[in-house]
Amino acid sequence: MLRLFVLPFLVITILNGHWGLAFALLWIAGVSDGLDGLLARVLEQRTKLGQYLDPIADKLLLSTLFVVLTHVGAIPRYVTVLVLSRDLGILLIATLLFATSTLRDFQPSQLGKLNTLVQILGVLTVMTYEVIPRSGLEALRNVLLWTIAALAPVSAAEYAWIVIRRVSEPVRVIAPPQG
C-alpha cells in the first residue's frame, strides 16, 4: 500500500524537477516492497489480497514511471511504447483467460522476470543519472534502455507462445471410478 501511496508524490516531484526528492521516494517505495516480501516469507503471512496487490503495485509503479520519465524527456518514447504495449497485451490476455476460465495459473516466466529486473535497473539508473548527471552512468543508462526495448517484445512473444501452447493442450478427462 505504501508504494501506491507514494506514487502520486513521486510523479509530482519528477514533474516539478525535484529529482533528489523523487529519488528518495523511489527508494522508499522499493525498500517497502522488499520489506513487505521479506516479512511475508519470514512470518508466513501470504494473503490472497497481497498476491494480487503486490504485482499490481509493482506494475503500476513501473508503468507510471516510464510514462512520466518519458514526458520529462529522460526516457525515449519508443522504449515506453514497447514496455506499455507488452504490459497491455499481457494484461488483456490474462484477463481474457481468467474471465473465460481457460487458464487460471498465469505465472511470470524467467524471461518476464528478467524483463522486470532490467526495467527496474533502467528506471533506477535513469533516476540516478538525473540526480547526479556527471556520474558516468550515461553509457549504462543507454545500454539498459536499449535492452529494455529489445526484451519487451521478446518477452511478449514468449508469453503469447506459452499461452497458445497451454490453451491448445488436449483436455485430460479423468474417468470416474468403476464399481
Q: What is the DSSP string of 136-157?
A: S-HHHHHHHHHHHHHHHHHHHH
pLDDT in tens, 40-93: 778 777 777 777 777 788 889 999 999 999 999 999 999 999 999 999 988 888
> Which pLDDT score is estimated for 103?
61
Is the Cβ–Cβ distance between 33 and 57 less than 8 Å? Answer: yes
**Domain 2-166: top CATH class:** mainly alpha
> Which pLDDT score is estimated for 56?
82
Higher pLDDT, residue 42 or 24: 24
Q: What is the DSSP string of 4-36?
A: HHHHHHHHHHHHTT-HHHHHHHHHHHHHHHHHH
The angle formed by the CA atoms of residues 22, 68 and 37, to the nearest 5 degrees, is: 60
Of the pLDDT bands very low, low, confident and very high (cuts 50, 70, 90), residue 122 is very high
> Which pLDDT score is estimated for 120?
93
> Which pLDDT score is estimated for 21?
97
The C-alpha cell at 40 is 511475508
pLDDT in tens, 128-176: 999 998 888 999 999 999 999 999 999 999 988 887 777 777 666 666 6
What residue ranges do the domains of the chain occupy? 2-166
Picking from 5, 165, 167, 56, the residue whose alpha carbon sits closest to that of residue 102 is 167
Q: Is the pTM of this model over 0.75?
A: yes
